[in-house]
Chains A and B, each alone.
Chain A
C-alpha cells in the first residue's frame, strides 16, 4: 500500500514499520520497551537454539533423529516441547497483563491499549491452539499406541504432517511477535471488529492463518488417532479392556474430527470477507456477524472437551496407579466420557446467550449445559472412590491430580451458575467469566498435562524428574492459581469487564494487586519447572529406570524398557485383563522371552513433514502480507510435495527378527539384575523401574 509497485510485488504490505525495534527506536517508552523486550527474547531464543545446535554439533542428530522421524513417540515429544515453549511465552504475557491491569487503575497503564489487545489475543490463541492442543496430542502420541499394544499410529506420515501444520501455525505466531503486529480481536476473533473495515492491518491475518493451519493439522490428528484405536488394538484388547486414557483419547479424537471443521470454515469465511470482499460477517449487504459467532462456538465448545477429556484420562490413570488399586467404576467412567463427547455438541449457544435469541432457545441450551455436570460429577465420585482404601502415594502427579479435583469442582459450580441465562446476562463478558474458564482449564487441562508429564517422563527418557522441584512447582502453581483467579470472581461481580486496558473504579485495586501476586507465584511455579528439568537432566544417573516400570504401572506402556524401542513391542502382547500389565506381573508373564520373534516393518524417515512445515509457514506469511508470488509458489509446492511423495515406493524398512531378539534379550537380562523397589522407596534412587510384586 505504501511502497512502490515494485516493492509491493516482491514484499507485499511489508514496510520499514513492520521491522522489529523500529517502533522502539522512533518512540522509546514503556509500551514500546515491552514490545522490544519480547522481540529480543523471541529472536534471542531462536538464535540461541541455533548456536547451541552448532556448538554441540547436533544439527545432524536433530535432523535425522527428530525432524524427519515418523516415530509416534518422537513426534509426541516434539509436540510437547512445542507446547512448553509456547506455554512459557503465554504465561509471561499473562504476567504482563496482570501488571498492566494493576497499574491502570484511574490512570493509563504502561502498555498502550492496542498492545494490551495483542497480549490477550496471543495469550488465548497460544494457550488453546499451541499449548493445550499440542500438549495433549503429544501425550496421546507417546502413550496411546503403547497402551493399546500397537507399534505406531495407523498413518505415521500423516502424524508428522499434522505436527508440521501445527508447528507452522506456531511459527507464524512467533513471527508476528517480531514482524508487524498481531490481531487485537481476542482468541475468538469476532467480526465485525476483525473485518477489513475496522482492522485493515496484518494482525488479524496472522491470527487467521495460524489458527487455520493448526486446525487442519488437528483434524488430521483426530482421524489418525481414531483409526489407530479402532484398528490397531492388540489381540484380546476388547473395547472394555482398553485403559481409560485411551478411551478419552478416542473420544477426544472423534470430537476433533467433527469439531475442528466449523473453525476452519469460520476462519476461511472471514478470510474471504477480508481478501475477496465477500459478505459473510460484514455489517453491510446482508452479512451477519452472528453467523460467525455460531460457527466459532460450534467448534469452541467441543474444543473445551477436546482439551479436558485427555486430562480426565490422565487423572484416571494417576488415581488408580498411585492408589495401587483397580480404577473404580470403569464402565461408568467410559460411559460418562462418551456422554460428555456427545453433549459437547449440544451446548454451544451458551457462549452467546446475550446475542438476542428468544428465551426458549436460551432455556433449551441452558438445560443442556447443566446436564454436562452429571457425567462430570460421576467421574469425580469414581476418582474419589478409587482412592478410598487404596494405599495412596502423594507423588507430584498425585498432588496435581488431587488439587485438580478440588479446584475443578469449584470451577464446575461457577459453570452451573453461568449456565443460567438470566445470571449470564448479569456477568457475561466480565472477569467472572474469565475466572470461571481459567478455573476449568488450569486444573482441568494444565494440571492434567503436568501430571502426565511427571508420570510418563521416565517412560519417554529413561529417568525420573526431580520430586523436590516438582513439589515446589506444585505449591507455587496451586497457591498462585487461587491468588490469581479467585479475586477475578469478585472483580467480575463488582462489574469489571474482561479485556479492559484501564479501570475507573479505585475499589478494584486491592483485588488486582492480589491477582498480580498470584501471577508472580505462577511464574515462580513455571520457573521451578525449568529448574526441575535442568536438575533432573544433571542428576539423571541417580534416577534411571531401565526396568521401565517406575510407578508399578497397570497398563501395557510400562511393560517395555524406558525409553521404549522404536518398534514399541518386541512381540505384540496378548491382553487378558483391563489392567493388562498388572495381570502379567501377577501371573509371572512379564519380563519373559517369547517363543519366537518376527521381522518388524517400520516406516522410514521422511523429509516430507519438515518441507511441508516450511512451505505452509511461508504460505501463511505470504498470505498475511499479500505477497502473492510467494503465496502461489508455496501453495503449489505443498501439493507438489504430496504428489511427489505418492510416487515413493520404498517407504518401509524391516527390522530383522534376530535384531529384535538380541535387543529384547539384552533388556530382559538387565531387568534380571535389578532389585525390585517397594513403593515407599518409589521416589528414591532405589527405584530402578522394577516394581515389587505384591500378590
Chain B
C-alpha cells in the first residue's frame, strides 16, 4: 500500500484511493453538505433551548415531563437508530471496497427497515400520547416536546425517502460518481440524526424521567 497521492479527509467515509475521482468530487460536495448540516444543527439547538425553557416554565398546570414520559419505547427507538447508523456504515464499506451492489443494497434495505421501525414506533408513541389527552395543544411544554421530537422524526422520514430514491438510482444508474457522492452525503445526514437523537433521549427522555 504505497501511495504517492495523499488524500485529505472529509466527514464521513472517504473513498480515498479506491475511487480517486469520486473522492475529489466528494471533497467539495461533502463540505457543502456539511455546512448545511451545521445550519441544521442550529435548528435543533434552538428547539432544544426552547424545550429546556418550556418544559420547565410552560407546564401550565398540565402534565410535567415526569408524569407522561416513560423509557421503554424511547429505548427501543434509540437502539433501532443506533444499529441503523452502524448498518449504514457497513453499506458505505460495501460501496467503497467491493463495488458490490447486492451487499450495498442489502445493508441499505436493513438500514431502511430499522429507520422505518424507528419512525413507526415514534408515530405510535405520539398517537398514544394524543389519545390520552396529552397532545401538543395541551400546554407549552407539550408543544415544545412535539416540535423537537417531531422535527427529528421528520428529518428521519425525509432521510428514508431519500434512501428510497437512491436505491432506485443504484439500480437505474449503477454505482456512478453521482450516486456514490449522494450516498456519502446521505450517510453523514443519517449519522448526524443519530447524534441529534443522543441529545433527545438524554435531555428529553432521561432528564424528564430522572
Contact = CB atoms under 8 A, between A and B. Distances in A.
User: A and B touching (C-beta < 8 Å)?
Assistant: yes
Interface of A: 154-155, 219, 222-224, 226-227, 230-231, 257-258, 260-262, 264-265, 269, 272, 276-280, 284-288, 291, 295, 298, 643, 646-647, 649
Closest 6 CB pairs of A and B: A286-B140, A286-B58, A286-B60, A278-B143, A261-B42, A277-B137
Interface in B127-152: 136-141, 143-144, 146-147
Contacts of A285: 58, 60, 62, 137-140
B143 A279 contact: yes
Contacts of B58: 279, 285-288
Interface of B: 28, 31-32, 35-36, 38-39, 42-43, 46-47, 50, 53-54, 57-60, 62, 136-141, 143-144, 146-147, 165, 169, 172-173, 178, 182
B36 A261 contact: no
Contacts of A264: 43
Given A226-B35, A291-B53, A261 B46 contact: yes
Contacts, number: 102
A223 B46 contact: no
A276 B137 contact: yes
A643 B165 contact: yes
A355 to B, nearest CB: 14
Interface of A is mostly: helix
A288 B47 CA distance: 14
A551 to B, nearest CB: 33
A288 B57 contact: yes
Nearest to B36: A223
Contact of A155 (B32, B146, B165): B32
A676 to B, nearest CB: 40
A643 B54 CA distance: 37
B50 A298 contact: no
Contact of B139 (A219, A276, A279, A647): A279
Nearest to A253: B35
Given A262-B42, A285-B58, 20 more contacts: A155-B32, A219-B39, A227-B32, A227-B35, A231-B28, A258-B39, A261-B42, A261-B43, A265-B46, A265-B47, A272-B143, A278-B146, A279-B137, A279-B139, A280-B54, A280-B147, A286-B143, A287-B58, A288-B58, A643-B165
Contacts of B169: 646-647
Nearest to A261: B42
10 contacts: A222-B39, A223-B32, A227-B31, A227-B35, A279-B60, A280-B54, A280-B143, A280-B144, A646-B182, A649-B178
B35 to A, nearest CB: 5
Contacts of B173: 649
A196 to B, nearest CB: 12
Contact of A276 (B57, B136, B141, B172): B136
Nearest to B27: A231
A277 B60 CA distance: 15
Contacts of A262: 42, 46
Contacts of B36: 223
A272 B28 contact: no
Contact of B57 (A224, A258, A280, A286): A286
A257 B32 contact: no
Contacts of A261: 39, 42-43, 46
A23 B180 CA distance: 58
A468 to B, nearest CB: 45
Given A278-B147, A285-B138, A154 B32 contact: yes
A288 B59 contact: no
Nearest to A285: B60
B43 A230 contact: no
Contacts of A649: 173, 178
